[in-house]
Amino acid sequence: MTRRKPGKQKTDDGGSPPSPSHAQPKPSPELSASAIGVESERTDTRHASKPAPGLYLAATPIGNLADVTMRVIDVARAADVIACEDTRVTGRLLRRYGITAPMVSYYEHNAAKVRPGLLRRLQGGDVVVLMSDAGTPLISDPGYRLVGDAIDAGHGVFPLPGPSALLAALQVSGLPTDRFLFCGFLPSKSAARKKQLAQIKDVPATLVFYESPRRLPAVLSDMADVLGARAAAVARELTKLHEDVRRGPLMQLADAFQHSGPPKGEIVIVVGPAGQRDDDAEDVDTLLLRSLETLSVRDAAAAVADVTGISKRTVYERALELSKGTRS
Ligand code: SAM
């Protein structure tokens, strides 16, 4: 839906009306695309026409600034205001591409206060761009209410798709991509976390979680307890200098990060679907179940830890879980 722009209105959201430098200059005839024989795919954004008024949801890089799309740059250059979480973070991206549109900070704790001003701007026919610090807005980031209110008020809402840690991690996980459930962040306390994991335990889809590196060892261990023997991947610092993806059974990953301690950087955990067990993990479970037929939990865990090289503590926890099933 395109809306006629009834002239500029004053805003109360901290943003300011666009400076003259954002007005789109008319292409001079000698430089126009058709004059130089290019009918489409113009990349010289100085001559791009002003986007339709509305709310633009612009994905930004999750590490590598070169991952921004040309469309995001075009629309951001023409924006009347860019609403973003931290103006210092977004400012770095904007400076890199010579974007001088005014920014207004829009984050969880000021959203209710700033939102009416953004809606008034939309009402006035402005181009409002929403950006997160990194990745796709609304994906574990602010924007959901703004989008809802903009839709309710009849404004145009347009996606500018691009990077998201969720999809980048899923792609490199090596796990099934045909069906997945994005679970966002789990609760920080173990009991609440396990409760939530139990709720999604039987979902026949790959599970994707955002997580803080500090909690990673404990979270993987809870996942191994509740979700059982499944293939998983820990994707860290995607698109950055220290990009790293570890793949393996949940139990082994839990064990590895318990030994190495919490890693640095940003993390996505991807876990294979219910009903699809990891071959290596299955080996551990098979060995444990066989050992539990004749040995105590402690002795079975010690024997299997010895054979597999996984720590006694991790195997013991798994043996306890399995023994509940076999001995109840
Ligand atoms: N909206 C963003 C998106 O689309 O990816 C996610 C925002 S959420 C507040 C931030 C979380 O995304 C981080 O805690 C981490 O779990 C994940 N993340 C962001 N950048 C990442 C990266 N480069 N590598 C791995 N995970 C990343």
Residues 173 and 266 in one domain: yes
Residue 31 lies in a domain: no
| Ligand 1 proximity of 237 Cβ (cutoff 6 Å) | yes
Backbone angles phi, psi at 136, to 5 degrees: -95, 125
- With cut-offs at 50, 70 and 90, classify the pLDDT of residue 48: low
Residues 111 and 170 in one domain: no
Above 50 in pLDDT, residue 35? no
Residue 137 lies in a domain: yes
Residues 188 and 261 in one domain: yes
* Confidence (pTM): 0.78
Chosen domain end from 163, 179, 209:
163
Backbone angles phi, psi at 122, to 5 degrees: -60, -40
Residues 25-48, mean pLDDT to the nearest whole number: 37
| Ligand 1 proximity of 165 Cβ (cutoff 6 Å) | yes
Residue 4 lies in a domain: no
Full domain range(s) for residue 317: 279-327
Residues 205 and 287 in one domain: no
Above 80 in pLDDT, residue 122? yes
Residue 22 lies in a domain: no
Question: Which residue's CA is the closest to the ligand 1 atom numbered 19?
Answer: 165
Residues 237 and 143 in one domain: no
Atom of ligand 1 nearest to the CA of 63: 23
Residue 269's nearest CA partner among 193, 162, 159 is: 193
| Ligand 1 proximity of 62 Cβ (cutoff 6 Å) | yes
Q: Are 58 and 76 in contact (CB under 8 A)?
A: yes
Above 50 in pLDDT, residue 325? yes
Kindly report the CATH number assigned to the domain that includes residue 176: 3.30.950.10
Tokens of 135: 């990745």
CB neighbours (10 Å) of residue 280? 15
- Say how many domains are in the chain: 3
- Enumerate residues 6+ apart whose C-beta is below 8 A from 296: none
Q: Which residue has the higher pLDDT, 288 or 269?
A: 269
Phi-psi region of 140 (alpha: psi -120 to 50; beta: other; left: phi over 0): left
Residues 172 and 96 in one domain: no
- Enumerate residues 6+ apart whose C-beta is below 8 A from 248: 231, 232, 256, 278, 280
